[in-house]
Structure 1
Amino acid sequence: MDFSLLTFLNLLLFSTCSASPPNFVLLFADDLGFGDLGCYGHPSSLTPNLDRLAAAGLRFTDFYCTSPVCSPSRASLLTGRYQTRSGVYPGVLYPGSRGGLPLNETTIAEVLKPLGYATAAVGKWHLGFGANGMFLPTKQGFDQYLGIPYSHDMGPCWNLTCFPPDVKCFGTCDVGTVTVPLLRNEVIKQQPVDFLDLERAYSDFATSFITTSAKKKQPFFLYYPSHHTHYPQYAGPGSAGHSLRGPFGDALLELDTTIGNLLATLEKTGVINNTLVFFTSDNGPELMRMSRGGNAGALKCGKGTTYDGGMREPAIAYWPGTIRPGVTHEMASTLDILPTIAGLVGAKLPQVMLDGVDMTEILVNQGKSKRETMMFYPTDPSEKYGLFALRLGKYKAHFYTRGATHSGTTPDPDCPVFAVLKAHDPPLMFDLEADPSEHYPLPLEGRPDLQAVLERIKNVKEKFEASMVFGESQISKGTDPNLAPCCNPQCSPKPSCCRC
């Protein structure tokens, strides 16, 4: 039977009342570069489970996040909207931030809840804590949560053990705030967190959630935003010293091992053939950390920049019997995950401006993408400057370029923070198929074909920016040290919070 017809029949079956709706497992790495996985060409990364997903699933070569830093990228993933609409900009949220992902934004979990889905998040939230935990996952459609509500370097870490038996964390992280807490739903269970046991706790929580949901025959959505491989890297006894790539490789191996545990649980509970597993990352590698900061492969620069190294990510879709093995060069984005999930289950879309498109045709037929463009905002988007870059088809135009502290230490002079903001008129244009490294700007003079492409890009940019309504900046609301979560509210000074 033709695979496309078989896929259509499968989709038709689970769209009927008598069939079980599909489950969704969304895996989101942290600061992982385009070239960091074995299946994306890294010679020494040990990622057997992700490599297995890539071999048996669909691997993307042109998949984008929406921001080269954490919080705004996560907001877009969960809402299908550019971070400028929700107000999760500029930069990222902190332990004492007054703002967070606005509660009137609709997450993937909230799209699925009316259809009877069990929902859980485990790992790094980083979309706000707020007064009385008002921005936590349990307020945004998730039934259960286990994790750190922000980045795990947002606390004093010189006294924490990152690797056994007693190897202290590399660097000093943030000082003057509370030690890193581990939350179960809205209650602090441990502070400071035990890094050596953290991943095991995450794996146990996630596998238990899958097992319980499968026993109840309840469809489920598991969102696992990992701390790996963000600095400072850490790994428990099962992974520390087991990779060829040092601390970064050990952390990546630990992430891969948890993914292997989730896959084994899906198989054991008999739901793997009815589950879409999707893996990607929030932004590019933090090159300033050198060998401990990740690798963008052939792409230019990394975290903090609007070059492709900052925003083009590894991505893998796996669904046995529905997604056939292969590689797609179609353009897609984290923005597209919400409308795709909604389309697969017939869920009602949020009644707001969505920037994502349904990529079911790519997934089940390896067909064409509905996405023709990708917009590139800097870490501090503004109406004054608008888009820094825009990709249309295989062409990318840079209207502004700027380096970033996160992408320091590289030999490319365009990447570090010393590469100050520069306007380009006409914009720098690159053919990303011929030159994915964005090394060689295309000559526009004497090329009416490229000039026509540039006019199209300018028209698309003008139309998009006219439609963009910037939400109130959540991060500009500032911080209040008293909002930082602490298991002992009376502890003084706050960084000496108790172990709960």
Structure 2
Amino acid sequence: MKHVCLGLLFFTACLHSLCAALPNFVLLFADDLGFGDLGCFGHPVSLTPNLDRLAAGGLRFTDFYSTSPVCSPSRASLLTGRYQTRSGIYPGVLYPGSIGGLPLNETTIAEVLKPMGYATAAIGKWHLGFGAKGKFLPTKQGFDHYLGIPYSHDMGPCWNLTCFPPDVKCFGLCDAGTVLVPLMHNEIIKQQPANFLELEKAYSDFATDFISTSAQKKQPFFLYYPSHHTHYPQYAGVDAAGKSLRGPYGDALLEFDNTIGNLMKTLEKTGVINNTLVFFTSDNGPELMRMSRGGSAGLLKCGKGTTYEGGMREPAIAYWPGTIRPGVTHEMASTLDILPTFANLAGAKLPQVTLDGVDMTSLLVNRGKSERNTMMFYPTDPNEMYGLFALRMGKYKAHFYTRGATHSGTTPDKDCPVFAVLKAHDPPLLFDLETDPSENYPLPLIGRPDLKAVLEKIQKVKAQLEATMVFGESQVDKGTDPSLAPCCNPECQQKPKCCQC
């Protein structure tokens, strides 16, 4: 009823030419940023003054989750409010020549908001497919404007390491058939190879211009900024390089923070700051195999690629002056919940599909209880035979399977690297995440009928959730076709050397 009433309220407002009263949304999505990487989440030397200000003036989440410990699936869930298993963005991630992508019949946040008159724009890392003739680009998924790299910035020749210090030289045939990383404007390649030292300024200018234009038109807007920072290999322009105490990782994080500062200044300058919800989080945990250049999960266990807390629990901040009171919440929430929340606040209709997200409005505005009491943990390669690897219900988390990952190598914890092979647990490992967020101490079940009752309830919830999960056709398993990789000189057969604009 509340959703209907809010929709009628905004509809009436629009009839009186007050559509500008609709809230604006700025969604900031970091890349491979861990729970312990921000100053406001406890890192001792991270230089993130703008994010720290958002945290001080907004609501900071301690129990916020992505849906996958790797990039493409987590982005699909964020934009659709549905687990990646439903949309088919699994196993692993999409590549420049991937045949598949986020299915066009999936409804994104942008497509939910556009019928309400929203201007929509995306900048940065898309990573939900390029496809034949760019069929999966953001402009095909509800975004009016796009400036960015359509996949991960390390997916160039030699994993793009030649673009960044230390200069890793290529040997053999590792460059063969791999196009240089392109910068795209809408559906056109603007630059190839992308100039990474000037990339963040281009994003900042594009985003601030979009905000200013929308504000001038008194048109509500949705800006989605999935940053390349702080994914390895890190880079930073002249305003951030060498300016932090954390080396390349800290410099990249600082540059990302600087752009956020520019966006906030633009919101203030245009007078729309008090009518704008700014939401920040990350796609998955840190790539610990990169050591000091891979980020930090803080006190959480393991990182990217795993279903331990370090792989999927993320820093998150919601900022809306005058609407969201400053503070900290320990309520459970997820990237899945962003679509239904934005839809409710804008009075927009929800997609007529199974949604896994819940509305966070009461949590954000009234500091109420979260409607989310469970969180499912799928591995990077989910399938119906194994089902969930873990499930959190309330403060308890049960692991049915555990496995390490290459991304989480190099740590002293023997459970994190790829050598920690798949292991089934019967009974499941049970943790109390309030007293043991590091998942170090499985709770003993012998002589604890109360915990056995908890586990039985978790098993029942797991069975109910899995019974409703319909796996979509895998888009990643459709394979790759090198000819699909975006190149501004597609006739060239000596890639990547002649694939330049």
Asked if residue 394 in structure 1 is aligned to residue 390 in structure 2, the reply is: no
Corresponding residue for residue 41 of structure 1: 42
Change (3 A) 1:497 1:315: farther
1:199 aligned counterpart, secondary structure:
helix
Q: 2:162·2:169 contact (CA, 8 Å) conserved in 1?
A: no
Rounded Cα–Cα distance in structure 2 between residues aligned with 1:86 and 1:455: 30
Rounded Cα–Cα distance in structure 1 between residues aligned with 2:79 and 2:354: 14
Corresponding residue for residue 121 of structure 2: 120
Q: 2:8·2:347 contact (CA, 8 Å) conserved in 1?
A: no
Say how many residue pairs are matched. 488
- What pairs with 1:78-477 in structure 2 (closer than 5 Å)? 78-156=79-157, 160-162=162-164, 167=165, 175-176=175-176, 177-477=178-478
Q: 2:101·2:130 contact (CA, 8 Å) conserved in 1?
A: yes
Structure 1 residue 160: Cα displacement: 4.6
2:211 aligned counterpart, secondary structure:
helix
Q: 1:248·1:293 contact (CA, 8 Å) conserved in 2?
A: yes
Rounded Cα–Cα distance in structure 2 between residues aligned with 1:53 and 1:127: 28
Structure 1 residue 492: Cα displacement: 2.4
Structure 1 residue 314: Cα displacement: 0.2
1:60 aligned counterpart, secondary structure:
strand
Q: 2:490·2:499 contact (CA, 8 Å) conserved in 1?
A: no
Q: Which amino acid aligns with 2:140?
A: K
Q: 2:162·2:168 contact (CA, 8 Å) conserved in 1?
A: no
2:364 aligned counterpart, secondary structure:
helix
Structure 1 residue 345: Cα displacement: 1.2
Q: Which amino acid aligns with 1:469?
A: V
Task: Render the CA deviation track for 1:147-185: whole Å, top value 9, x for unaligned.
Answer: 0000000012667544xxxx4556879744111000000
Q: 1:302·1:407 contact (CA, 8 Å) conserved in 2?
A: yes
Q: 1:192·1:497 contact (CA, 8 Å) conserved in 2?
A: no
TM (norm. structure 1) is 0.95
Structure 1 residue 498: Cα displacement: 3.6
Rounded Cα–Cα distance in structure 2 between residues aligned with 1:472 and 1:169: 40
Rounded Cα–Cα distance in structure 2 between residues aligned with 1:303 and 1:170: 24
Structure 1 residue 499: Cα displacement: 3.0
Rounded Cα–Cα distance in structure 1 between residues aligned with 2:310 and 2:81: 22
Structure 1 residue 497: Cα displacement: 3.6
Structure 1 residue 346: Cα displacement: 1.1
Q: Which amino acid aligns with 2:396?
A: Y
Corresponding residue for residue 26 of structure 2: 25
Change (3 A) 1:107 1:344: same
Change (3 A) 1:170 1:440: farther
Q: 2:274·2:322 contact (CA, 8 Å) conserved in 1?
A: yes
Q: 2:71·2:284 contact (CA, 8 Å) conserved in 1?
A: yes
2:33 aligned counterpart, secondary structure:
coil
1:85 aligned counterpart, secondary structure:
helix
Q: 2:207·2:223 contact (CA, 8 Å) conserved in 1?
A: yes
Q: Which amino acid aligns with 2:267?
A: L
Q: Which amino acid aligns with 1:484?
A: A
Q: 1:80·1:355 contact (CA, 8 Å) conserved in 2?
A: yes
Rounded Cα–Cα distance in structure 1 between residues aligned with 2:450 and 2:362: 30
Task: Render the CA deviation track for 1:67-105: whole Å, top value 9, x for unaligned.
Answer: 000000000000000000000000000000000000000
2:280 aligned counterpart, secondary structure:
strand
Q: 2:244·2:254 contact (CA, 8 Å) conserved in 1?
A: yes
2:442 aligned counterpart, secondary structure:
coil
Q: 2:332·2:373 contact (CA, 8 Å) conserved in 1?
A: yes
Q: 2:161·2:168 contact (CA, 8 Å) conserved in 1?
A: no
Rounded Cα–Cα distance in structure 2 between residues aligned with 1:466 and 1:244: 49
1:496 aligned counterpart, secondary structure:
coil
Rounded Cα–Cα distance in structure 2 between residues aligned with 1:442 and 1:172: 49
Rounded Cα–Cα distance in structure 1 between residues aligned with 2:404 and 2:265: 42
Structure 1 residue 139: Cα displacement: 0.1
Rounded Cα–Cα distance in structure 2 between residues aligned with 1:364 and 1:169: 49
Q: 1:169·1:232 contact (CA, 8 Å) conserved in 2?
A: no
Rounded Cα–Cα distance in structure 1 between residues aligned with 2:182 and 2:426: 48
Rounded Cα–Cα distance in structure 2 between residues aligned with 1:22 and 1:498: 42
Task: Render the CA deviation track for 1:191-221: whole Å, top value 9, x for unaligned.
Answer: 1110100000000000000000000000000
2:61 aligned counterpart, secondary structure:
strand
Structure 1 residue 277: Cα displacement: 0.1
Corresponding residue for residue 3 of structure 2: none
2:496 aligned counterpart, secondary structure:
helix
Q: 1:486·1:497 contact (CA, 8 Å) conserved in 2?
A: no
Corresponding residue for residue 4 of structure 1: none
1:495 aligned counterpart, secondary structure:
coil
Gaps of 5+ in 2: 1-5
Q: 1:303·1:404 contact (CA, 8 Å) conserved in 2?
A: yes
Change (3 A) 1:428 1:172: farther
Rounded Cα–Cα distance in structure 2 between residues aligned with 1:170 and 1:471: 39
Rounded Cα–Cα distance in structure 1 between residues aligned with 2:93 and 2:481: 15
Rounded Cα–Cα distance in structure 2 between residues aligned with 1:228 and 1:264: 20
Gaps of 5+ in 1: 1-9
Change (3 A) 1:246 1:432: same
Q: Which amino acid aligns with 1:230?
A: H
Task: Render the CA deviation track for 1:418-459: whole Å, top value 9, x for unaligned.
Answer: 000000000000000000000000001111111111011000
Q: 2:7·2:347 contact (CA, 8 Å) conserved in 1?
A: no
Task: Render the CA deviation track for 1:348-402: whole Å, top value 9, x for unaligned.
Answer: 0000000000001110111100000000000000000000000000000000000
Task: Render the CA deviation track for 1:206-259: whole Å, top value 9, x for unaligned.
Answer: 000000000000000000000000000000000000001000000000000000
Task: Render the CA deviation track for 1:248-283: whole Å, top value 9, x for unaligned.
Answer: 000000000000000000000000000000000000
Rounded Cα–Cα distance in structure 2 between residues aligned with 1:383 and 1:159: 37
TM (norm. structure 2) is 0.95
